Structure 1
Amino acid sequence: MTTDIKDIVDSFGSVSLEETDAVKLMDRYDTKLLLHVSRVPELLKLMADNYRVLEINGIRISGYNTTYLETPDYMFYNQHITDRDGRTKVRFRKYLSTGKTYLEIKKKNRKHKTVKWRIENHLHEGSLDLTAREFINNHISVDSAALKPIISNNFKRITFVRYDIPERITLDLDLSFSRPDGFSRELPLVAIAELKSQGIAVRSPFSKLIRSLSFFPVGFSKYCTGLALLYDVPKKNILKQKILLLNRIENEYNGVLSA
């Protein structure tokens, strides 16, 4: 992350975690775009008048650690790369700014709307406790006993909240992936911006802003991409173009990536 990004983020008005909770948007539409980290300052400067930045204990750029669970036959991964209705992710996410860890389930319905459930919980030496298993079994059709940690990611996140409408923007930087055996891959030049809104993204003021900069949305899953980077997963060819795009942005400046 560059000093320019931190300086611009520090110039934003702030919003507290309690205020942000009013727009949690656990039931929402998501839109992502990838951009080279050098384009981030340009984007932030155009957001400054209409968004505040989440600040927790004086921290505006927060660390996240996420561990994804998977079945032996890659059920969740296969759901995502085939764009199946009801595709699901199960993960433990630690929010370093608060020290809290949550078990989270994300599910996307046939209308491409994301629903998320979560409880405060954590892995116990790589295993699920009874509370975690019951939570999973109550929300999705899967044998929770078969789920095992398969990949983790780390990144820094900046969260922005719109002044006048229920809309949140997250900006993820310094992304890295790792396997349980320690094998890892870092993507320091890739930034991921994501719009989370109640309505269709095309109507969002943020969508208009990124279009004015010739930025375009792109389908991207940290989970699927991380698996493809670190494992010889099935149907890896489906993700070939995404991997090529990441390699391109890592090797040369290309602005925003589009599918």
Structure 2
Amino acid sequence: MSCDRTVLAELASRFEPISLAETTDQAALQTRIDKKYLLPIGLLGHVLDDLGTGLRALEIDGLRVFGYESVYFDTPRLQFYRDHVQGRRLRHKVRTRRYVDSDLTMLEVKEKGGRGETVKHRTDWSPTELFRLGSGGRMFIDDLLDGEPDAASLRPSLVSRYWRVTFVHADAGLRLTCDVDLGFESRHTTTSVPRGRVLVETKAAGTPSVADHILHRYAQRDIAVSKYCAGIALTHGAPANRWHRVLNRYLRPVA
């Protein structure tokens, strides 16, 4: 286990557990506002403490740190990525996601709305089909995207892997995910986020959430780039002028 994962596990152990069923009931948040922060992992404990006694850590079968593997799909010209680069109001991501510890796998389509809200649609998927959409997957995607682009044109463009702890604050209507050991892989190259940093995502029905206010007090700012866009920029050498400062400051390995 890496040092960052050990720290994350220790932090998660400080809080009362919450089950997956309770998490789904209290903070499913399939429609939500997401904010992302990359902070030194040593700061995370202070942020969690400031969120107060209502904070609980997701626990499944005695585990609190979970492995994730996601395969993103895009057109050969990276249309989904370019929509993000160009700042289009309506944007999409398509991915399969495998929960490593249980092998549970989902096919997901994420939509970013004109007001910044994220809506996630998902369906059960086979772990053996992580890199394939198949006819059923293409139909699911086309129904949601109205065939723009045609799901038949989508190909695997990026793989991301990381370890996550999820915190839930039901009273605040908040979910907080904390990811470490984040790595990206494409057919071009592989890379990873420098050690000692944790990617924190706040997920709430409104913005800014109580967690956003706390992070702002610690001089942390939303990095405004998704894992998919960061991974494509880092592994494909794709144009990324709007995120150049964030990528260089937080995500590019130190030479």
The verdict on a shared fold, with TM-score over 0.5 as the criterion, is yes
Provide the rounded CA distance (Å) in 1 between the counterparts of 2:178 and 2:205.
18
Which AA in structure 2 matches 1:16?
A: S
**Which runs of structure 2 are paired with 1:24-35 in the superposition (5 Å)?**
24-35=28-39
Task: Report if the CA contact (8 A) 2:56-2:169 is conserved.
Answer: yes
Which AA in structure 1 matches 2:181?
A: D
- 1:205 equivalent in structure 2: 210
TM-aligned CA distance change 1:93 to 1:35, over 3 Å: same
Provide the rounded CA distance (Å) in 2 between the counterparts of 1:95 and 1:87.
25
Provide the rounded CA distance (Å) in 2 between the counterparts of 1:186 and 1:87.
25
**Which runs of structure 2 are paired with 1:21-100 in the superposition (5 Å)?**
21-22=24-25, 23-47=27-51, 49-100=53-104
The two structures have a TM-score, normalised by structure 1, of 0.88
- 1:118 equivalent in structure 2: 122
- 2:222 equivalent in structure 1: 217
**1:152 is aligned to 2:159:** yes
**1:226 is aligned to 2:231:** yes
**How far apart are residue 125 of structure 1 and its match?**
7.6
User: Which one of the candidate residues 8, 12, 16 is aligned to 2:11?
Assistant: 8
**1:184 is aligned to 2:187:** no
**Stretches of structure 1 lacking an aligned partner (at least 5 in a row):** 253-259
User: Which one of the candidate residues 123, 132, 144 is aligned to 1:127?
Assistant: 132
Provide the rounded CA distance (Å) in 2 between the counterparts of 1:176 and 1:219.
18
**How far apart are residue 251 of structure 1 and its match?**
4.3
**How far apart are residue 48 of structure 1 and its match?**
5.0
Task: Report if the CA contact (8 A) 2:66-2:165 is conserved.
Answer: yes
Deviation per residue, 1:16-68 (Å, 9 max, x gap): 00011112111111111111223223323333523101001111011100110
Secondary structure of 2:129's counterpart equals coil
Aligned pairs, number: 247
Provide the rounded CA distance (Å) in 2 between the counterparts of 1:169 and 1:7.
16
**Stretches of structure 2 lacking an aligned partner (at least 5 in a row):** none
Which AA in structure 2 matches 1:13?
A: E
Task: Report if the CA contact (8 A) 2:96-2:131 is conserved.
Answer: no
The two structures have a TM-score, normalised by structure 2, of 0.90
User: Which one of the candidate residues 155, 171, 181 is aligned to 1:174?
Assistant: 181
TM-aligned CA distance change 1:86 to 1:6, over 3 Å: same
**Which runs of structure 2 are paired with 1:94-109 in the superposition (5 Å)?**
94-109=98-113
**How far apart are residue 216 of structure 1 and its match?**
2.2
Provide the rounded CA distance (Å) in 1 between the counterparts of 2:201 and 2:221.
12
Task: Report if the CA contact (8 A) 1:26-1:114 is conserved.
Answer: yes
Secondary structure of 1:217's counterpart equals coil
Secondary structure of 2:73's counterpart equals strand
Which AA in structure 1 matches 2:71?
A: T
